Amino acid sequence: MKSHYRVVVIGGGVVGASVLYHLAKFGWTDVCLIERSVLTAGSSWHAAGGFHALNADPNIAALQAYTIDLLSEIEAESGQSVGMHMTGGMTLAGTPDRWEWLQSAYRVFQSIGIEDVHLITPEEAGALCPVMSTHGILGGMWAEREGYVDTTGTVHAYAGAAKKRGAEVIEHNRVLELNQTPDGWEVVTEKGTIRAEHVVNAAGLWAKQVGRMAGIELPVSPLAHHYLLTETIPEIAALDKELPLVVDLEGFTYMRQDQKGMLLGIYEIDHKHWMMDGAPWSYGVELLQEEPDRIENELTLGFERYPVLQTAGVRNWVNGAFTFSPDGNPLVGPVRGKPGYWCACAVMAGFLQGGGVGKSLAEWMIHGEPEADVFGMDVARYGDYAANKRYIRETTGQFYTRRFVMTYPNEQLPAGRPLKMAPAHDAMTAAGARWGASYGLELPLYFAPSPGFEEKPTLKRSNAFPIVGEECRAVREAAGLLDITGFSRFEITGPGAEAWLDRLLASRLPAPGRARLAPMLAPDGRLKGDLTVFNWGDGTWWIMGSYYLREWHMRWFHDHLEDGVTVRDLSDRIVGFSVSGPRARDIVQRTTDGDVAALPFMGCGTFDIGLTRAKVGRLSVAGELGYEMHVSAAEHVALRRTLLEAGAELGLREVGFNAMLSLRLEKSFGIWSAEFTQGYTPAMTGLDRWIDWDKGDFIGRAAALCEREAGGPAQVIATIEVDAEDADASGFEPVWHDGRRVGFVTSGGYGHTVGKSLAMAMLDRGLAVPGTELTTHVVGAERAARVIPPSPYDPEGKAMRA
């Protein structure tokens, strides 16, 4: 062991070994892995080792595909067998909704280029797995590249390949302390102290403690997980091929062959947390006592699905702990305020996702950004609110229990809620608000007409569809009142604020008393934000964006902060409402003696609105004449009451974000996580029209200019109309032209005021022209579609500029 390394990876499981391997592969060889016991001690040694294609996040599914491809490479490179069994695998559906969901998922795989997946009938499923009962199965999805590995062999293959490239592995050496230094970290271990530029928390069951060593509270918790191994089963021993991996979603089980017997794993409804503050340091190659009574119902379903189990002997029970995050996805990336500290935690499917996590983290450390859009596993998708122990318990338990439970796009889950609420939350609830959650904050989705209304979970248009339609028409015909607490607000001040913003943002900065749309880029030219910047004219600037990106954006601001600049997150102190619609000006003017009528489009200023002193911007995500009013949290209730009273005679109606999503589609306005992501460039999304190419240098200018001078991107965003019936596109459905896949839907829905099913799609540029005939798949069913001109409602933008 040396006294200095460029990177110290803490944790010798599959994730830590993968990070070490990828760092060495990409050229950083002065790296070491420190393991308190031996490689695999913790969760890796007892993992079932299965790998499969399915993931609800297509970006993570793509990284899983990378991991599967990588396994044979590290085996060859290291000389260590990974025990690869490429058996193929199938996911089964036992309800009509689940079958529709699988058909939709199949199309998503096509969108992201995973071609070795296809749908199968119950009869085909039975032929592929002859020891399985097909009773109740409606269909399934088969994937060629599914199977399982030898978990211990795989970890040693990653580590062995890393060592061949110059990395070092140090076992039996626990990390005792982490101390931040001006140039990195001091890693105090049982065998001495190491100085490192970077440390990686890949500590698995001990991630909580290794986070606390750096003053970080990570939202992670271990939960217990069962599987059983049988003795030899004659029916399996008689087969001339190995059984496939099978996931029975309605049965809460997964199955694979183990020698001449079977492994049956269970995601039990009655979940059980274990050592929420982290495993004991002495824990290692050990198991928890099995609890068959706690999983009795799921075991019964498994034994019914595989009748051969009813006469098989159980050779061994495995009840081991795995670490989960609130949404089940990994926690990866840098932590704001802790330069050189990196997370690679909560990778509960380590043998499936470990390769992708290692690749992305190594790219991030070496190049500044990962190649893939990894926001779905970025540690910055959570804020301080998620460190609450009860929140962690509720959300991780909910994820575990619902691991194989059908979750609908319009379904609102209860764990960790309500947490953050706007001051007028109770008043809006009394008015019929139905709530969703974003970054811990309750957001109004729509306002139900009767107290007893309940929205039914569905993959198609729900019973709330007509309610949202009425809200949309209210905005177009009169005015809608929307709670805009769920936007982020950052205040930028200081003598260097203007110059800093000019370098940070790609747009021209607005003049005093004006606002402007502002794309923000990474050095490689890809997007880092679709923001709105306000110049209040007194040396104070605001940046507004998506509420759930608060920590993600704050980390970016912090990483690029300069002397003479102060950035404050105002998002929980400043709240507000917007009024949008043709009568918006009349309504707002009734509340003030200020000259709101003189405020130009994209203008901003300070006005007395009723008894409140509000910062007002004239803009609207609905594409209508609109005003956004921002006040202190203590004034939120008063502002709402003032606006409702002023608009009572003018048709003002409270509306939710579901209506805004419909209205913005009618204007071809993109949103973050759909049309705008860190995987796209401004030219792909149309945000390049806001770039000021002549203002001088800004972050990402060289890369964006290179793309423009090279002729532009291969794909661009376009608006399409879909011949839908009772369902609308939602995202990642493939788009076809003459039988060839030419793109995919980024988001979709119903345009209530134009009476059309609309979507925005990333298409091959040559086809992104109005009139191009296409098809897409909505909830698995093929539908005709066509490219239409952008902004099907008010294409000239006269309404919002009125």
Angle between helices 151-164 and 58-78 (to 10 degrees): 70
Q: How many domains does the chain have?
A: 2
Question: pLDDT at position 13, please?
Answer: 98
Q: Which of 226, 577, 546, 252 is nearest to 431 (CA)?
A: 577
* Strand, coil or helix: 100: helix
Structure tokens at 721: 């109309």
Residues 32, 36, 38, CA angle at the centre, nearest 5°?
85
Please give the Cα distance from 344 to 27 (Å, whole number).
19
pLDDT of 54 > 80? The answer is: no
735 SS3 class: strand
pLDDT per position as a tens digit, 571-622? 999 999 999 999 999 999 999 999 999 999 999 999 999 999 999 999 999 9
Is 124 buried (19+), middle (13-18) or exposed (0-12) by CB count in 10 A?
middle
In a domain, 81, yes or no: yes
The predicted model gives 345-371 an average pLDDT of 96
The least confident of 54-63, 417-426, 763-772 is: 54-63
pLDDT band at 291 (very low <50, low <70, confident <90, very high): very high
Q: What is the Cα–Cα distance from 439 to 427, expressed in whole angstroms? A: 21
* pTM for the predicted model, two decimal places: 0.96
In a domain, 240, yes or no: yes
User: Per the domain annotation, does 515 fall within a domain?
Assistant: no
Q: Could you read off the pLDDT of 70-115 as tens digits, one per residue?
A: 999 999 999 999 999 999 999 999 999 999 999 999 998 888 888 8
Residues 6+ apart with CB under 8 A from 418: 425, 435, 437, 442
Helix (H) or strand (E) holding 24, with range, is: helix 14-25
Q: Write out pLDDT tens, residues 177-229.
A: 999 999 999 999 999 999 999 999 999 999 999 999 999 999 999 999 999 99
* DSSP states along 619-682: --TTSSSEEEEEEEGGGHHHHHHHHHHHHGGGTEEE--HHHHHHHHHHTT---BTTTB-TTS-H
- Give the pair of three-digit tokens for residue 465: 């569809």
For residue 406, give every residue at least 6 positions away whose Cβ sits within 8 Å of its Cβ, in sequence order, or none.
Answer: 95, 97, 98, 101, 249
Neighbour count for residue 592 (Cβ, 10 Å): 18
Confidence label for 502 from pLDDT (cuts 50, 70 and 90): very high
The CATH number of the domain holding residue 781 is: 2.40.30.110
**pLDDT at residue 65 above 90?**
no
CB atoms within 10 A of CB 746: 26
Instruction: Give the pLDDT confidence score for residue 31 in this predicted structure.
Output: 98
Q: For 509-515, what is the mean pLDDT? A: 98
CATH at 30: 3.50.50.60
Q: Is residue 642 part of a domain?
A: no
CB of 684 closer than 8 Å to CB of 715: yes
In this prediction, residue 55 has a pLDDT band, given cuts at 50, 70 and 90, of confident
Per-residue pLDDT for 248 more than 80?
A: yes
Q: Which domain holds residue 767?
A: 714-793
Beta strands in 713-779 (DSSP E): 715-722, 734-737, 740-751, 756-764, 773-778
Check pLDDT > 80 for residue 331. Answer: yes
Residue 115 has a pLDDT of: 84
Does residue 573 lie within any of the structural domains?
Answer: no
- The residues pairing with 715 across neighbouring beta strands, listed in sequence order, are 764
The per-residue pLDDT for 255 is 98
Check the CA dihedral 663-669-674-678 and report its sign.
negative
Which is nearest to 165 in space by CA: 21, 287, 67? 21
Task: Give the distance from CA 337 to its chain's centroid.
Answer: 22
pLDDT, one tens digit per residue, over 640-684 is 999 999 999 999 999 999 999 999 999 999 999 999 999 999 999
Side-chain-side CA neighbours of 273 within 13 Å: the count stands at: 19
DSSP code per residue over 161-172: HHHHTT-EEE-S
Contact at 8 Å (CB) between 511 and 600? no
Structure tokens at 172: 């039996």
Domain contains 162: yes
β-pairing verdict for 626-632 and 574-580: antiparallel
Two tokens at 155?
Answer: 């970890």
Tell me the H-state helices in 213-295. Answer: 234-237
Residue 92 located in a structural domain? yes
> Can you tell me which residue has the tokens 């309605």?
250
Q: How large is the C-alpha radius of gyration of the chain? A: 27
Residue 168, pLDDT > 90, answer yes
Percentage of the chain beyond pLDDT 70 is 100
Q: Is 570 a domain residue?
A: no
Indicate the burial class of 649 (C-beta count within 10 angstroms; 0-12, 13-18, 19 or more).
exposed
Q: Is the peptide bond before 418 cis (omega within 30 degrees of 0)?
A: yes
Identify the H or E element spanning 379: none
Q: Which of 375, 403, 430 is the last residue of a domain?
A: 375
- Domain end position, chosen among 319, 354, 375: 375
Q: What is the mean pLDDT of residues 300-309?
A: 97
Res 227: pLDDT: 97
Run of H or E residues at 557: helix 550-559
Question: What kind and span of H or E run contains 781?
Answer: strand 781-788
Mean pLDDT of the chain: 96
- Looking at 375, 401, 430, the residue that finishes a domain is 375
